[in-house]
Homo-oligomer: A and B are copies of this chain.
Amino acid sequence: MLNELADAREAYNLPHVQQEPRIAAMQTEPKPIEQKQIEPSFKVACSNCNLRELCLPVGLNTDEMQQLDGMVATRRKVKQGGHLYSSGDAFTTLYAIRTGFFKTCVVSEDGREQVTGFQMAGEIMGLDGIVSDKHNCNAIALEDAEVCVMPFNHVEDLSRQIPVLQRHVHKIMSREIVRENGVMMLLANMRAEERLAAFLLNLLQRLHARGYSKSELILRMTREEIGSYLGMKLETVSRTFSKFSEDGIIEVKQKNIRILDHDKLKAIFNASTC
C-alpha cells in the first residue's frame, strides 16, 4: 500500500532518468542556481525540456509532441516564500514545476495549518482547484522556483485530441489520490520514527528519479513543516532526527542529511514491532 513510498519509480511510472550532473548539482548546492533569463526568441517548448519524461506521457509521436508545445502558455518565477497560488484564488491553470521546491498547505477556519505535500521538479500542481474553480490550498515556494503555466482549458482541449495525454492527466490525478491514501495510512497508523523514515525514503526516491544521490539530501523545509506534514510537533521531529543520528542511521547537519544505513531506515519504515 505504501508502495508509493517504497518505490518511486513504479509509483511515478517513470523511466529511469539518466543522471544529469547539472540538475544533480542543484540539490547539493546550498544556493539555488541563478536562473538565466529566457530570451524572447527561445520559445518555451516541452519537446526541448529535459524534464519532459517527468511531466509528459511517453510514446508521443513528433506530431503530437509539437501540439503539446503549445500547452505551456508561459513560465513564471516564484521567489522563496512566495505564493504560486493561494486558497480561494480563481483556478484557471495547472503548473508544472521546472525548478525549485514547493509545499502545499490547507488552513482551517481556526487557523491551524496542515502541510498536505511537498512538490519538486516535474510534478504538477493545482489539481485541487478543478473541483470548485478556485484553489483549495496555498502553494508556497520553499526556494526560488520556476513553473510552466498550463491553462487548464488548454490541457483539456489537447486531452480531447491526444488520448495518450488524456490518460496521462488521469494518471497524474489518480497518483495524487493514491499518494494521499498513503499519507492517511501514515498519519493514522504509524509512530513518529516510522513516519519520519517513510518521509525520508519517499524524498530520497523522488530525488533519485531526478538523478540525485540516494544517500544524501538537503531538506528544503523546516522541522515545523515536516512536522505538520507528518502530524507531529517540531520538537518530536528534531528528537527523532537525533535518535536516528545516535543509532547511526543518518547524519544530520542542519538541513543536510546523509543516509548511512538505508536498510535500517527501510526496516523502521516497515516495522510495526517497536
The 8 A-B residue pairs with the shortest CB-CB distance in the complex, in nearest-first order = A188-B231, A130-B174, A180-B180, A1-B106, A187-B187, A131-B174, A173-B173, A114-B185
**How many residues on chain A are close to B (CB under 8 Å)?**
56
Q: A185 near B128 (CB under 8 angstroms)?
A: no
The answer to whether residues A106 and B181 also contact, given A87-B1, A156-B170, A171-B130 and a CB cut-off of 8 A, is yes
A116 surroundings in chain B (CB, below 8 A): 181, 184-185
The answer to whether residues A167 and B177 also contact, given A114-B1, A184-B116, A188-B231 and a CB cut-off of 8 A, is no
**A10 within 8 A of partner (CB):** yes
Give the number of times this chain occurs in the complex, counting copies: 2
A13 surroundings in chain B (CB, below 8 A): 131-132
| Cross-interface CB contact of A270 among B109, B128, B132, B161, cutoff 8 Å | B109
Q: Taking the nearest CB of chain B, how far is it from the CB of A109, in angstroms?
A: 6
Q: Taking the nearest CB of chain B, how far is it from the CB of A151, in angstroms?
A: 14
A172 surroundings in chain B (CB, below 8 A): 131
**A107 within 8 A of partner (CB):** yes
Could you write out 19 A-B pairs with CB less than 8 Å apart?
A1-B137, A2-B108, A13-B132, A106-B182, A106-B185, A108-B189, A110-B272, A112-B185, A112-B272, A114-B181, A114-B185, A127-B173, A128-B181, A130-B173, A132-B178, A160-B163, A184-B187, A188-B229, A189-B231
A229 surroundings in chain B (CB, below 8 A): 188
**A73 within 8 A of partner (CB):** no
**A159 within 8 A of partner (CB):** yes
Chain B residue nearest to A155 (CB atoms) is: B170
Q: Taking the nearest CB of chain B, how far is it from the CB of A113, in angstroms?
A: 9
Residues on A lying within 8 angstroms of B by beta carbon are 1-2, 10-11, 13, 87, 106-112, 114, 116, 127-132, 136-137, 156, 159-161, 163, 166-167, 169-178, 180-185, 187-189, 228-231, 270-272
Residue among A108, A110, A189, A270 with max Cβ neighbours from chain B (10 Å): A108
**Alpha-carbon distance between A230 and B231 when the two chains are bound, in angstroms:** 13
**Alpha-carbon distance between A270 and B159 when the two chains are bound, in angstroms:** 40
**Alpha-carbon distance between A145 and B270 when the two chains are bound, in angstroms:** 35
**Alpha-carbon distance between A87 and B3 when the two chains are bound, in angstroms:** 12
**Alpha-carbon distance between A182 and B177 when the two chains are bound, in angstroms:** 13
A163 surroundings in chain B (CB, below 8 A): 156, 160
| Cross-interface CB contact of A180 among B10, B112, B177, cutoff 8 Å | B177
A188 surroundings in chain B (CB, below 8 A): 114, 187, 228-231
Q: Taking the nearest CB of chain B, how far is it from the CB of A5, in angstroms?
A: 10
**Alpha-carbon distance between A129 and B187 when the two chains are bound, in angstroms:** 22
